[in-house]
Amino acid sequence: MTEVGVRGRPDGPGPGSGRVVVLGATGFVGRHVGAALEAAGYEILAVARRPLKTPASWRFRPMDLAHGAPEALTRLIGTERPVAIVNAAGEVWSPDAEGMRRNNELLVDRLLAALAASGARPRLIQLGSVHEYAPQPHGVWLTESSPEEPVSDYGRTKLMGSRAVLRAVRAGDADAVVLRLSNVIGAGTPRASLLGQVAAQLLAGGGDGAPAQVRVSPLRSSRDFVDALDVSRAVVAALRAPDASGRVLNIASGTSQHVRDMVDLLLAISGRRATLVERGTPELRPGADNGWTGVDVSAARAVLGWEPRRTPRDMVEDLWRAAARQE
């Protein structure tokens, strides 16, 4: 397995070449995407607000994309002339509706304006979310033609960003692909997520040899969990696929896993003694009013030649190993 920031064998036929700007490169998904692109032969220019640790082989440019002067991004694109830009920036699960609008919607508007002003035409890969769709009944799979009726501020702001990108493609102002991701899991999974919270509680332990008390909201739903490494391979494929421009493609595992099974798997993999305590009512998150989510990935197979490879055990093992290293 290629770890974040470590060179590995390029994915797909032929090495890549050229510079790729990764916006939000120090975030969970951004780090994985940068690693996969570098492994595929691309030079990485990482852009983020804070200079968190990045591989020594990456160039880093600090930039506040939402609040900084928009001319800075225009100059960066015009000077660097990247072959691609990956927008992995944004805000997730935030109670701040205005912050999500600023970071998921207005940031994309700034990016598109900077692209137009720079005169460059890199392939733009916009990382969206399956929460841009309307929740579907049990057994009804999300496809790219599912209704776009998000039920949360997160889904609505991500949808506005995706629609802005697609309008730019239709107007001939951009070469871009929108990848709508399901629930991404892997090394570095944020603590704000359910499995991230469980891992943190396991590591905190119970003290004096007592089992750790792992407290969660009722585990009643099923979700499509996709491995961060599979997502990263999809980004590489989207950069290379000539017929992907203007498309929306779902990137997911293509299976629906019960959330309890994922938590039980993490408990087993950790090897820690623990007591699982379900309390309160289910925590409301984007799409949480729907107890089941399954995502169809046949379009990504057809357009990108991509398919998910990794199992729930793979992604949970990666999550736990990375969390335990930071203990």
Contacts of residue 220, Cβ cutoff 8 Å, sequence gap at least 6: 259, 282, 291
Pull the structure tokens for residue 62.
């600090």
> Any idea which residues carry the catalytic annotation?
154
Q: What distance in Å separates the CA atoms of residue 230 and residue 222, rounded to the nearest whole number?
A: 20
- Interhelix angle 228-240/28-39, rounded to 10 degrees, is 50
DSSP letter, residue 247:
-
Neighbours of 174 (CB within 10 A): 24
d(CA 71, CA 82): 17
Three-class DSSP category at 241: coil
Q: 99, exposed or middle or buried, with CB in 10 Å at 0-12, 13-18, 19+?
A: middle
DSSP string, 14-81: S---SEEEEETTTSHHHHHHHHHHHHTT-EEEEEESS-----TTSEEEE--TTTS-HHHHHHHHHHH-
Give me the phi and psi of 43, to 5 degrees please: -85, 135
Give CA separation, 303 vs 94, 251, 298, 308, in Å. Answer: 33, 12, 9, 14
Between the alpha carbon of residue 299 and those of residues 179, 248, 254, 257, 312, the distances in Å are 11, 9, 11, 21, 22
| Three-state DSSP state, 230 | helix
